[in-house]
Amino acid sequence: MEDERRATGRWIYRAVAVWFLLVFWAMVWPGYLPFARIRPFVLGMPFSLFYYACVLVASFAVLFALYRWEVSRGLSGEDDDG
């Protein structure tokens, strides 16, 4: 049972690490080129700024999901006393 939890934990942490490597690649020169334009405007923002905002929100969602997973497993390191 403990080995299964460790394997699941390693998989989750590796997936998050891969996500942030992809985010890094997507926000610098080679990955950013397809999105480096001003038009069309989306929600009043240039497309490139909207792209950055979407990547930022997706990264927040990934970190929040990781936090919720750690809390459900009792791995967050927070005190229960509040």
Please write the tens of the pLDDT for every residue from 31-48.
899 999 999 999 999 999
Spans in the chain with pLDDT lower than 50: none
This prediction has a pTM of: 0.81
Residues 6+ apart with CB under 8 A from 40: 47
Nearest to 51 by CA among 63, 66, 39, 64: 39
> How distant is the alpha carbon of residue 47 from its chain centre?
20
The pLDDT of residue 11: 94
3 state SS of 75: coil
What per-residue confidence (pLDDT) applies to 76? Answer: 75
pLDDT of residue 52: 95
Three-class SS of residue 42? strand
Domain segments of the chain as ranges: 2-73
Centre a 10 Å sphere on the Cβ of residue 51 and count the other Cβ atoms it contains. Answer: 19
